[in-house]
Structures are given as C-alpha cells and as structure tokens.
Amino acid sequence: MEATDYHADTPRHRGDLNVAWHGTLKSFGQNHSMSTRVMTGLALPFYETALEFTEGMARGRLHNLIRYPAVVIVLVSTSLDAYINEILAFHHLIEPTKQLRIAELRGKKLREKWVHAPEILGGSAFDTNAEPYLSFDLLLTLRNKLVHYSAGFRTTSEYPLAKIDQYKQRFTFTHEGKSDWTSQVLNLECARWGCKTAQRMVRTFHTLSGIRQLQVWADPA
C-alpha cells in the first residue's frame, strides 16, 4: 500500500494486509496526552483481493463465472465502504474545525457519504447525474441484490435489477435472455466494470477534494 500525504510509516509495497493508517497528532502541531493513534486500513486489501480474482478469471485460472464475479462485486463495494470511512475517520482526528460536519456525515448512508465527503473536506461534491457516480450507484444496487439474495423462479427475461438497460450499457451479458439472471450478469466483464468503478470513485474523490492520492488502485486485468 502506497503512503499518502497523511499516512506516516505506512508499508510501501502492494498487497500488505497489515497496512495501517497512522495519525500522529504531534506531526500536526497538536500536543495531546495520547500523541499517536493507529487505524488499520482495509479498503485497499479488499480491492486488491478483487483484482486477484479478476486476474484469475482473465488468465483462465478461475472458471466459475458466477461465483468469482459475485465475490468481486461484494469486495469492491466493501472496499469503497471502507475507504470513505477511513478518510472520514482520519480527517475527524486531524481537523478540529471540521469535526462536527464529519461526525454528522459518518452517520449517513454510504451513497451520501461519498457525495458530500469531498465537499466537507474542502472541495466539491460528486455530481450524482454523471460518471463515475452513476456506475457506483448501480454497483451498490447489484451488491445488495447479491448479499440479500431473493431466491425465486424467473423467466430468462426477468431481472431483479430495476435499471437493467444501464447495466447492459456498461458491460456485455453472457447468454443474454437464455439463462438465469445471475448467469447472464455475473461474468468477467462485470468483474472488470466493478473494479474500474471503484478505481474511478477513488480517483474522482481525490480530484474533487483536492487531497493528493498516492495510493495505487491498479487497473483490472
């Protein structure tokens, strides 16, 4: 995991599952009795695990094109949940003038956190009518359909996703209209789209907030 402007003593190699955020209060000119606090960062490890599954599918090592894409969608969604929470927790610690607004935002739903976090931290909010937020919204919907799976017999043209045409615009379905919806949607292209959506959300956050990104969220295979 690459160090960022506000990470101290962070391991500099990719894939370290013991990565930690180190918020050293003294380094920000604050003399508290508890001068150092530590927080483990899970966002990047979740994302890199999703990349490993995606690479395995792309290289033909992993062949179940329902199981692994489903795991990737859950992992990248979880990585985005962890990332925004880590960002907000860190800035709540180091920016006293923003603590009340950050604390309020930390209690909101995930979509709202992502929309308003860059604005609260000194930049501009996400445009909810543009990419990458539109794909982010679809990603969370798909993740919820998988995690809260509603089993049932459907025709091959029935999908439990309200905006199915928008998914079709973003990646190619497998055997469209000829199998269960999970078999159509959950494939390698879906996994790649999920990884790219997470990657773009992180990049856009840093662009909007003005906080420099040094952490590497690599491209999917």
Confidence of residue 161 (pLDDT cuts 50, 70, 90): very high
Kindly state whether residue 171 falls inside one of the protein's structural domains: yes
Kindly state whether residue 7 falls inside one of the protein's structural domains: no
Angle at which helices 67-94 and 110-120 cross, to 10°? 40
Position 21 scores a pLDDT of: 59
* 217 pLDDT above the threshold of 90: yes
Rounded to the nearest 5 degrees, what angle is found at the Cα of 110, between the Cα atoms of 216 and 150?
105
* 27 pLDDT above the threshold of 70: no
Kindly state whether residue 112 falls inside one of the protein's structural domains: yes
Q: Which of 115, 150, 118 is nearest to 136 (CA)?
A: 115
Q: How many domains does the chain have?
A: 1
Kindly state whether residue 160 falls inside one of the protein's structural domains: yes
Kindly state whether residue 219 falls inside one of the protein's structural domains: no
Average pLDDT over residues 9-20: 36
Kindly state whether residue 202 falls inside one of the protein's structural domains: yes
Q: And the tokens for 100?
A: 């009340």
**Strand-pair category, 20-24 with 36-40:** antiparallel
Position 35 scores a pLDDT of: 52
Kindly state whether residue 151 falls inside one of the protein's structural domains: yes
Whole-prediction pTM: 0.87
Kindly state whether residue 18 falls inside one of the protein's structural domains: no
Range of the domain at 157: 42-209
